[in-house]
């Protein structure tokens, strides 16, 4: 009798287990990504990624600084990159010495590519060269846009490039009567951090500073000290409008992460299918897919 009960119990246990197994299998058939690739909010994924690097978001980008937070939400994808690379210790570098120190610590390698030296963090460069090799096998190529500037930049470069958008835009809006000569002079004389803050404030009323004056300057050039090029994890590609090239870049961990900056690719070293769980969401602009921080933020001049 005892044996009978034991048999019966085992039978029930096995029955329950196999039912559970069947349910699990059925669920997996419906959605193989269900438990492993849930999209995560940016700040949640960021906190996790930074914890692994023994830091936190307050250290790199204090919440008391709205400009730094805005920049983090526009260019912050690099902070989620694979552990083979080193993201910057801050959202906004404020001087050349600080940039030099970071670049030396993170390390970079140089490679002669088409006609120029390209300098990137070693893991990023390695994958870029692999992508290029794959492109070349198909009769295509991946080449640096605007020479050496396509990859590593220093602090001074980022200030010069900012001015290449900031100054002509000031002239334009002065001509349009939207800014007075006095305002223009004052803006030019401001310390950089304040200048960035005021430019972003003016853009709220449609006074845009991008090259074509139709959208935020942040989609045209990085604010000084914030470029992913300073982090040596960005590369501007001449052949960006070829969908196959974008596919090959993505296969090697290189993605477009800055809305509307079309030639600009960022090395994340992650698989495309995993990006949502790393706090990024995809946005399609003119047929190109951008992976941007998954935050409910407006994108001035882009989200209509
Ligand atoms: Zn770029």
Please provide residue 195's backbone torsions phi and psi, each rounded to the nearest 5 degrees. -60, -45
* CA 246 – ligand 1 centroid, Å: 15
Closest CA relative to residue 170, chosen from 136, 129, 217:
217
Q: Which token pair is 7?
A: 């048999």
Reported pTM: 0.83
Instruction: List, for residues 244-276, the tens digit of each pLDDT value.
Output: 999 999 999 999 999 878 999 999 999 999 999
Q: Which token pair is 276?
A: 């949502």
| pLDDT value of position 301 | 57
Q: Which token pair is 251?
A: 């296969």
3-state helix, strand, coil in the chain (%, to 5): 50, 10, 40
* CA 23 – ligand 1 centroid, Å: 48
Average pLDDT, the chain: 87
* CA 277 – ligand 1 centroid, Å: 25
Ion ligand 1 residues within 5 Å by Cβ: 234, 236, 264
* Cα–Cα distance for residue pair 76/225, rounded to 1 Å: 13
* CA 71 – ligand 1 centroid, Å: 15
* CA 1 – ligand 1 centroid, Å: 78
* CA 256 – ligand 1 centroid, Å: 10
* CA 147 – ligand 1 centroid, Å: 12
* CA 59 – ligand 1 centroid, Å: 25
| Residue 201, number of CB atoms within 10 A of its CB | 12
* CA 263 – ligand 1 centroid, Å: 7
| pLDDT value of position 1 | 44
Is 33 a residue whose pLDDT tops 70?
A: no
Pairing of strands 254-255, 116-120: unpaired
* CA 215 – ligand 1 centroid, Å: 17
* CA 153 – ligand 1 centroid, Å: 10
Q: Where are the alpha helices (DSSP H) in the chain?
A: 2-30, 42-52, 57-60, 66-75, 96-106, 122-137, 155-175, 181-189, 192-203, 243-251
Angle of helix 155-175 relative to helix 192-203, nearest 10 degrees, comes to 40
Closest CA relative to residue 220, chosen from 168, 162, 133, 272:
162
Please provide residue 285's backbone torsions phi and psi, each rounded to the nearest 5 degrees. -125, 125
Residue 66 pLDDT class (50, 70, 90 cuts): confident
Is 32 a residue whose pLDDT tops 50?
A: no
* 3-state secondary structure at position 94: coil
* 3-state secondary structure at position 149: helix
| Residue 205, number of CB atoms within 10 A of its CB | 8
C-alpha torsion angle, residues 99, 97, 217, 264 (rounded to 10): -30
* CA 39 – ligand 1 centroid, Å: 26
Stretch 79-93: mean pLDDT: 95
Instruction: List, for residues 120-175, the tens digit of each pLDDT value.
Output: 999 999 999 999 999 999 999 999 998 889 999 999 999 999 999 999 999 999 99
Q: Which residues pair with 281 in a beta bridge?
A: 292
Q: Domains of the chain: which residue ranges?
A: 1-31, 42-93+104-153+232-293, 156-219
Instruction: List, for residues 216-230, the tens digit of each pLDDT value.
Output: 999 888 899 999 999
* CA 130 – ligand 1 centroid, Å: 20
Instruction: List, for residues 163-213, the tens digit of each pLDDT value.
Output: 999 999 999 999 999 999 999 999 999 999 899 999 999 999 999 999 999
* Cα–Cα distance for residue pair 125/109, rounded to 1 Å: 7
Contact by Cβ (8 Å): 81, 101? no
Assign domain 42-93+104-153+232-293 to its CATH architecture. 2-Layer Sandwich (3.30)
* CA 197 – ligand 1 centroid, Å: 22
* CA 136 – ligand 1 centroid, Å: 22
* CA 124 – ligand 1 centroid, Å: 14
* CA 187 – ligand 1 centroid, Å: 25
In sequence order, what are the residues at sequence separation of 6 or more whose Cβ sits closer than 8 angstroms to the Cβ of residue 146? 236
């Amino acid at each position: 009798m005892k044996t009978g009960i034991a048999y019966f119990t085992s039978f029930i246990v096995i029955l329950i287990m196999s039912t559970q197994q069947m349910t699990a299998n059925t669920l997996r058939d419906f959605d193989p990504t269900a438990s492993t690739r849930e999209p995560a909010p940016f700040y949640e994924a960021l906190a996790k990624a930074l914890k692994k690097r023994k830091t936190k978001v307050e250290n790199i980008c204090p919440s008391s600084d709205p400009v730094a937070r805005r920049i983090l939400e526009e260019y912050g994808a690099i902070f989620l990159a694979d552990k083979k690379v080193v993201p910057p210790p801050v959202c906004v570098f404020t001087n050349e010495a600080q940039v030099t120190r970071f670049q030396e610590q993170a390390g970079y390698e140089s490679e002669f590519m088409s006609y120029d030296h390209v300098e990137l963090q070693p893991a990023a460069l390695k994958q870029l060269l692999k992508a290029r090799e794959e492109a070349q096998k198909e009769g295509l190529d991946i080449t640096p846009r605007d020479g050496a500037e396509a990859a590593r930049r220093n602090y001074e470069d980022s200030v010069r490039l900012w001015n290449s958008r900031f100054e002509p835009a000031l002239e334009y809006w002065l001509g349009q009567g939207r800014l007075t000569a006095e305002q223009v002079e004052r803006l030019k004389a401001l310390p950089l951090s304040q200048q960035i803050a005021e430019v972003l404030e003016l853009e709220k009323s449609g006074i845009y500073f991008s090259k074509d004056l139709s959208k935020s300057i942040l989609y045209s050039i990085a604010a000084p000290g914030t470029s992913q090029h300073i982090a040596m994890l960005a590369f501007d590609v001449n052949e960006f409008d070829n969908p196959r090239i974008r596919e090959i870049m993505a296969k090697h961990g290189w993605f477009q992460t800055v809305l509307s900056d079309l030639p600009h690719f960022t090395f994340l070293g992650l698989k495309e299918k995993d990006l949502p769980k790393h706090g990024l969401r995809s946005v399609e602009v003119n047929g190109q897919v951008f992976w941007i921080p998954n935050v409910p933020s407006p994108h001035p001049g882009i989200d209509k």
